[in-house]
Amino acid sequence: MLSDLKRIIEQISRDKGIEKHLLVETIEEAVRSAARKKFGSRRDMEVQYNEELGEVEIFQFRMVVEKVEDEQTEVSLEEASSLDPGVKLHDEIGTKMENISELGRIAAQSAKQVIIQKMKDAELDVIYDMYKDRKGEIVNGIVQRFERGNMIINLGRTDAILPHGEQIPKRSFRQGDRIRALLLDVRQSAREQQLVLSRTNNDFLSKLFEMEVPEIAEGIVRVMGVSREPGFRAKIAVSSSESDVDPVGACVGMKGSRVQNVVQELQGERIDIVPWSPDPAKYVSSAMAPAEVSMVLVDEDKKSLLVVVPDDQLSLAIGRQGQNVRLASKLMGWNIDVKSESRYAKLEEEGYRSLLNIEGIDEAVADILYDAGFRAVSDLKGLNIKELEGMEGIKPERAAKLAEAIENYMESAEAAAPVTEAIEAVEESEPAEITKKSVADKVRIYELAKEAGMKSTDLADKLIKLGYDIKGYNSSVDETTAAKIRDEVLGS
């Protein structure tokens, strides 16, 4: 095993990139371990690699005694004198073990295993140091083999794994094919593949454009966002730091050459390049391409957008199985709701919206009622179960629940009528003419509303619109009543 050791060390160092001193230390430790197993663990031994001879030397050190009681740590004066005539009792003498083959086959095999393991550990460290700073870069390799759906990619110095979940679906490679992928992770582990690749990660698309578009590499054009459904479609948002550089045009390239190179690498994945904007309305109008956008309503607090499109653009805006709007939503990080112009117009009708106030009536049911001629909640008075069951799209069990919900709503509306009248009476007063009577009216409104089962939030909205602040008029209501109204109504 240890013959031609010098040549083996030099070859491994050259091929694996492992420093010679690490290999030497590994071999010395392995031989020391094997020697202890063979000759005893109490024996004081020193292992050294002789580079000139290209071999490992083992020296054992023993105490010179008259009578040997422990052959692992002691040597007789007679034997020691034959090795060194000047030796004396109680001296320590070192002797070289001339034949390493004395270790025996089993001990030598153990040493070999230790050497192999140590070399692997050293190689892992070398690979980790080589790639740890390249995480997030694109690497080139050759498809080596397939293991349970995963691809093993040869990068030259080492192999990497392209997990099944990081592969573009329905796109095949064969053994020996050249492949590019993003270096997703670098692990310092011997149990699993050190280098993990990805072709589905958003950064893979960004890095491909960086390789194809000099303006991105130079920092003039920036990639502001990416959303992908790998293998099918992607959207990438770009912006420019210079007004005379069109970011979309730079990414598309002359006659589409740059984007086509990326598409070819992704094996046909369709890519939409859109201009980024800090204005959500303008940004979403670009992100929804190729669909045209008529109007955008922005809710900054909820980070949601209502996008209105022409009726003939609705299917294009939504995309196959919702893909277009889903990608636009991921790109922006906002919730996007798409409506056609006719649907939005209907939702804006006060009568249609009143239908949605009834519990259990969603837009689907509201559409059925609206198309049947019930254009407002007031039209529903007297509507019975049989009429509901006769409407296409409403099942008998739902018809019963709807009829009950409509009846309950009508009763609540009738009970709340005095509240409405009282509010209208108070509204006739000018804010500057607030009197004790108007404050008392507000208290009465509150009491009527509670009797009618009216929601406190609804009442609060109505009272706040009047411009009154109950806290300022305690002269006509006691502290407890004022606090109650303030907390339960205006504070709702």
Measured between alpha carbons, how far is 458 from 420 in angstroms, rounded to an integer? 12
Same structural domain, 404 and 452: no
pLDDT score, position 446:
54
Q: Are residues 463 and 404 in the same domain?
A: no
- pTM for this predicted structure: 0.63
| Structure confidence at residue 474 (pLDDT) | 33
Distance in angstroms (rounded) separating the CA atoms of residues 239 and 221: 6
Question: Is 480 within the bounds of a domain?
Answer: yes
Looking at the fold, whether 70 and 90 belong to one and the same domain comes out as yes
Q: Which domain holds residue 182?
A: 135-200
Alpha-carbon distance of 183 to 136, in angstroms, equals 5
Token pair in block for residue 51: 């580079």
Domain count, the chain: 5
Which pair of tokens denotes residue 467?
């411009």
Whether 470 is in a domain gets the answer yes
Residue 212 included in any domain = no
Same structural domain for residues 330 and 408? no
| 9 and 107 housed in the same domain | yes
In tens, the pLDDT along 315-366 reads 999 999 999 999 999 999 999 999 999 888 888 877 787 777 777 777 878 7
Rounded Cα distance between 456 and 446, Å, is 9
Q: Is residue 38 in some structural domain?
A: yes
**In-domain check, residue 208:** no
Which residues does the chain have with pLDDT short of 70? 1-4, 16-17, 98-112, 114-115, 118, 190-192, 412-492
CATH number reported for the structural domain that contains residue 305 in this entry = 3.30.300.20
- Cβ burial 180-216 (10 Å sphere, 16+ → b, else e): bbbbbbbbeeeeebbbbbbbbbbbbbbbbbbbbbebb
What does the H/E/C string look like for the chain? CCCCHHHHHHHHHHHHCCCHHHHHHHHHHHHHHHHHHHHCCCCEEEEEEECCCCEEEEEEEEEEECCCCCCCCEEEHHHHHHHCCCCCCCCEEEEEECCHHHHHHHHHHHHHHHHHHHHHHHHHHHHHHHHHHHCCCEEEEEEEEEECCEEEEECCCCEEEECHHHCCCCCCCCCCCEEEEEEEEECCCCCCCCEEEECCCHHHHHHHHHHHCHHHHCCCEEEEEEEEECCCEEEEEEEECCCCCCHHHHHHCHHHHHHHHHHHHCCCCEEEEEECCCCHHHHHHHHCCCCCCCEEEEECCCCEEEEEECHHHHHHHHCHHHHHHHHHHHHHCCEEEEEEHHHHHHHHCHHHHHHCCCCCCCHHHHHHHHHCCCCCHHHHCCCCHHHHHCCCCCCHHHHHHHHHHHHHHHHHHHHCHHHHHHHHHHHCCCHHHCCHHHHHHHHHHHHHHHHCCCCHHHHHHHHHHCCCCHHHCCCCCCHHHHHHHHHHHHCC
Answer whether residue 455 is part of any domain: yes
414, 434, 450 — which closes off a domain?
414
Q: What would you measure as the largest C-alpha separation in the chain, in angstroms?
A: 128
- pLDDT, tens digit, for every residue of 13-64? 777 667 788 778 877 877 887 777 777 778 888 888 888 877 788 888 888 8
Q: The CATH number of the domain where 178 resides is what?
A: 2.40.50.140
- Answer yes or no: do 331 and 383 share one domain: no
354: domain CATH number is 1.10.150.20
Do residues 122 and 171 both lie within one domain? no
In a domain? residue 209: no
Q: Are residues 12 and 88 in the same domain?
A: yes
Whether residues 37 and 92 fall in one domain: yes
Q: Of 397, 414, 431, which residue constitutes the final position of a domain?
A: 414
| CATH number for position 17 | 3.30.1480.10
Q: What is the CB-side half-sphere exposure of residue 308 using CA atoms within 13 A? A: 13
Backbone angles phi, psi at 161, to 5 degrees: -110, 135
Paired sense of beta strands 159-162 and 150-154, if any: antiparallel
Shared domain for 74 and 151, answered yes or no, is no
- And the tokens for 306? 């209502």
56 Cβ partners below 8 Å, 6+ apart?
A: 2, 5, 27, 28, 31, 47, 48, 49, 50, 100
* Residue at 247 is within a domain: no
Give residue 207's pLDDT: 95
Domain-terminating residue out of 168, 200, 232: 200
**Domain co-membership, 169 together with 105:** no
Alpha-carbon distance values, 406 to 181, 323, 366, 400 (Å) = 60, 38, 12, 10
Residues 368 and 421 placed together within one structural domain of the fold: no
